A and B are shown apart, each in its own frame.
Chain A
Amino acid sequence: SQKIEQNSEALNIQEGKTATLTCNYTNYSPAYLQWYRQDPGRGPVFLLLIRENEKEKRKERLKVTFDTTLKQSLFHITASQPADSATYLCALDSYSGNTPLVFGKGTRLSVIA
């Protein structure tokens, strides 16, 4: 069956370090993979989209990689700040871009000052 796994429910890191979150999937062949941030009591907010033919995408302190062989995406936040504390969700389409996004459970990141 299809499955999306985000490496852990919670991740604690020290301020200034790089946070690395993992999204693994099985039995999908996504054309696109997206990352969202969700704060408590709020709706998810889009961060980055990466296509299957792209290896890496960057936006300010954020970097996403997409390895279709390993069926894995890594999400990095460099020079992390307490304001980066939130739940991060990965989402992918099930096939070739015309299907709705399926979301993972999310990883709750806490950046400790």
Chain B
Amino acid sequence: EAGVVQSPRYKIIEKKQPVAFWCNPISGHNTLYWYLQNLGQGPELLIRYENEEAVDDSQLPKDRFSAERLKGVDSTLKIQPAELGDSAVYLCASSLLTGGNGELFFGEGSRLTVL
């Protein structure tokens, strides 16, 4: 069974440029998460989806970040415009169960470098 697939794995852009990350969760997983991970830190939640509905986006910086999950399957996270401080790894995860009783399956992450 395929795991969570993310692309691109690496992206280098100039500040003020836009960038988009794509995630395909495990088939049948209705819950999808985007986490941000800075070097030496744990993942921090940006947004959680239940099917196509964003049920927790309080940590998403909405002035420059946006996300969508059309048709409740794959998802895209966009940053426009990117800032130097956005350099980080963007992790996508999916789970069968919602909340703490569901194990998360993570993708390999998309490493963003903003110059």
CB contacts (< 8 Å) of A31 on chain B: these are: 99-101
Interface contact A97-B45, CB-CB below 8 Å? no
CB contacts (< 8 Å) of B106 on chain A: these are: 43-45
CA distance A97 to B98 in the complex (A): 8
Interface contact B105-A46, CB-CB below 8 Å? yes
- Interface membership of A21, Cβ < 8 A: no
Interface contact B99-A103, CB-CB below 8 Å? no
Q: Please judge, given known A-B contacts A9-B40, A104-B42, A106-B42, whether A43 and B108 are in contact too, CB under 8 Å.
A: yes
- List which B17-60 residues lie within 8 A (CB) of chain A: 33, 35, 40-45, 48, 56
CA distance A93 to B45 in the complex (A): 12
CB contacts (< 8 Å) of B104 on chain A: these are: 34, 36, 44, 46, 91, 101
CB contacts (< 8 Å) of A44 on chain B: these are: 43, 91, 104, 106
CB contacts (< 8 Å) of B35 on chain A: these are: 103
Smallest beta-carbon distance B98→chain A, Å = 6
CB contacts (< 8 Å) of B101 on chain A: these are: 31-32, 49, 51, 93, 97
Within 8 Å by CB of A100, from B33, B42, B103, B107, lies: B33
Interface contact B105-A105, CB-CB below 8 Å? no
Within 8 Å by CB of B107, from A41, A43, A49, lies: A43
Q: Please judge, given known A-B contacts A34-B100, A43-B93, A105-B41, whether A100 and B56 are in contact too, CB under 8 Å.
A: yes
Name the CB-closest residue of B to A51: B101
- List which A15-72 residues lie within 8 A (CB) of chain B: 30-34, 36, 41-46, 49, 51
Seen from chain B, the residues whose Cβ lies within 8 Å of a Cβ on chain A are: 4, 33, 35, 40-45, 48, 56, 91, 93, 98-101, 103-109
Please name 14 further chain A to chain B contacts, defined as beta carbons within 8 Å, in addition to the given A100-B48, A102-B45, sorted by A numbering.
A4-B42, A9-B40, A30-B100, A32-B101, A34-B100, A44-B91, A49-B103, A51-B101, A91-B42, A93-B101, A97-B99, A100-B99, A103-B35, A103-B44
